[in-house]
Amino acid sequence: MDHGQQEQTKEPPQRAAVYVRISDDPEGTERGVDRQEADCRAYAASRGMAVAEVFRENDTSAFKQRTITLPSGERVRRVVRPQFRAMLGFLARGKAEVMVAYDLDRAVRDPRDLEDLIDAKVLNRFKVRSVTGSLKLDTDADVAMANKSSADTARRVTRAARQQAIEGTWHGGRAPFGYRCEAGTLVVEPGNAELVREAAQRVLAGESLYRVLTDWNARGIPTGWGGEWSDKTLKMVLRNPSIKGVRSYRPLLPDGTRAKASQMSAKAAWPAILDEDTWQQVNDTLDARKQARTYYQGGSKRVFPFSGLIRCSDCGTAMVHRGGVYQCHHSGPGQCCRAIRAAEVAALAEEAVLAVFSQITLDPARRADSAKDTTARAGLAAVLDADRARLARLDDDHYDGLIDRAAWVRQRARIAERVEKARRDYQAAMPDAAPMIDVTTVAAEWEGRTPLWQFQAASLVLEAILVHAHPADMMTAVPKRRDETTEAFHVRRDAHRAKVLARRVEFVWRA
């Protein structure tokens, strides 16, 4: 056989599909995936492979799951990795004979993805290789080793994160508002830290989050992401335990999401912006406002302060604000069609409510009781924090083998019972609905307050505003007299409306 025939019978090089991935790249530089791609290309070249396609997933988790809807309509939890799926399809169509990744945990972290990769390999007969040698699925032993290695990596990452929390060090990522990250730790950013203190003091003074964020947006103050403030972003800043110098730990759940409640807390290695008491008072205030919204079924976007209080005297239902009037909800052919001008009844109600509040004085004994309640809540909060810290230490002792499982179960049940009792006592010690309203200052504070606050304040003294039918002995409309000036007509008309309004509106006050 001559040299030409040898060239013709020589097999072409195997084609490789390269897959590279980085979990976190907040700056979007893609340097990590670039390095992986270079190493994978070098690996393929050293083994005589030709790279047919490169599938890149930058800033993409291979573990965190999301809720998606399948074509059947079923909602399931899945890891969403479009390029990984595209690579499996590429290999299934016979476009390459080998899959090359840098490492096992760069290719798969979720057991479902590993199973899909194994199934695709068996059906389409391609090879799986990695630069580090950790990903190889030629035999059953290789598959078992890949499963174990993936699980070991997850456990090491979880343990390392827990140890960081115990030591109070920063876990990385974007720094909370009020701080900046330097050399792996948090440093107070003076300008933003002062804004956090300002927001806390304004909330404690009774201002709503909406007023604070509206003011900040008007002043051109950006969030940590450079956008505008919203109720959610401001609330996240004030509720973040990092600003009180506490490092919390929320572990990853099996579905890849973070636990909603912190499992442990430790003193942070960075300085606090708010002291513990102030932070707790701010969060108690936000919790109480949320409870009040639930109680009144109002909602934070209430537009009219007396909606829900204005009711039809015949059918008893709350009248709805429509087109400048309050109208009976049962309006329709053959039903109640009562209506009243919204501006007039609101002005009358506001005047009556403020007159009542201007005469209220708070008994000194009630002020003392309020101070005692605040002290009691602070004590219960301290008990809760201490017992939660004991639970965290107990879990660590069991994990490290210092106590056996029987002792761990017995002690944990006892402490958990104390935690639950303290939590119930703390909830019972919370003030009633509309807790941040001082009845002695409502009249002075009314102007400029939000409709929700005004509704809560009015509900303290007012049970309902009943709207009666138009008096039969009074005209429904005032005609303009001949040769009467417009100004005189308006004065006479307004006086007539005031008399009608006084007879139509009845206030039902609380005892």
CB 361 within 8 A of CB 352: no
Helices (H), 47-169: 82-92, 104-107, 111-124, 140-167
> CA–CA separation, 472 vs 476, rounded Å?
9
Contact 161, 247 (CB under 8 A): no
CA distance 116 to 101: 16
The predicted pLDDT at position 453 comes to 80
181 pairs with which residues across the strands?
A: 186
Task: Provide the residue type at 238 as one letter.
Answer: L
In the chain, the N- to C-terminal Cα span, in Å, equals: 113
Give the 3-state secondary structure of residue 507: strand
Res 210: pLDDT = 85
User: Positive or negative, the Cα torsion across 490, 492, 497, 502?
Assistant: positive
Q: Is 360 helix (H, G, I), strand (E, B) or coil?
A: coil
Residues 428 and 449: beta-carbon distance below 8 Å: no
Q: Give the CB-side neighbour count of residue 330, counting CA atoms within 13 A.
A: 11
Name residues whose C-beta falls within 8 Å of residue 118's C-beta, 6 or more positions apart in sequence.
137, 143
Please tell me the predicted confidence (pLDDT) of residue 264: 53
Alpha-carbon distance 278 to 200, whole Å?
8
d(CA 29, CA 22): 11
pLDDT of residue 234: 92
The full DSSP string for 73-105 is S-EEEE---HHHHHHHHHHHTTS-SEEEES-HH
- Give the separation between CA 17 and CA 292, rounded to whole angstroms: 58
Q: How far apart are CA 111 and CA 177, in angstroms?
A: 36
3-state SS string over 182-251? ECCEEEECHHHHHHHHHHHHHHHCCCCHHHHHHHHHHCCCCCCCCCCCCHHHHHHHHHCHHHHCEEEECC
**Which of 306, 310, 304 is closest to 468 using CA atoms?**
310
Tell me the two tokens of residue 332.
């329709």
Q: 179 has which bridge partners?
A: 188
SS3 at position 311 = strand
Helices vs strands, H then E, count in the chain: 16, 16
| Among candidate residues 351, 329, 324, 317, the one with its CA nearest the CA of residue 340 | 324
Whether the CB-CB separation of 455 and 305 falls below 8 Å is answered with yes
User: With the CA atoms of 110, 114, 116 and 117 taken in that order, what torsion angle do they form, in degrees rounded to the nearest 10?
Assistant: 140
Residues found in the chain: 511
- The two tokens of residue 422 are 């303290």
Is the Cβ–Cβ distance between 199 and 178 less than 8 Å?
no
Q: What is the CA radius of gyration of the chain?
A: 34
Contact by Cβ (8 Å): 186, 270: yes
Closest to 457 (Cα-Cα) out of 440, 441, 437: 437
Angle 364-399/405-429 helices, nearest 10 degrees?
Answer: 160
> Per the structure block, which two tokens stand in for 55?
């599938």
Query: Tens place of pLDDT for every residue, the chain, 511 residues?
Result: 455 555 555 678 889 999 998 876 555 677 778 888 999 999 999 999 999 999 998 877 655 666 666 666 666 566 678 888 899 999 999 999 999 998 876 777 666 777 788 888 888 888 888 888 766 666 655 555 555 555 555 555 555 555 555 555 666 667 889 888 887 778 888 899 999 999 998 888 777 888 888 889 999 999 887 888 988 889 989 988 888 887 765 555 544 455 555 555 667 777 888 988 888 888 888 887 776 555 444 444 566 888 888 988 887 778 888 878 888 866 556 667 788 998 999 999 999 999 888 877 544 444 455 555 556 666 777 777 777 778 777 777 766 677 877 777 778 778 877 877 776 676 566 544 344 566 777 888 888 787 878 888 888 888 889 999 888 888 888 888 888 898 999 999 989 988 989 999 999 988 6
Q: Which pLDDT score, from 0 to 100, does residue 420 have?
A: 74
Neighbouring residues of 214: CB distance < 8 A, sequence distance ≥ 6: none
* Predicted pLDDT of residue 111: 67
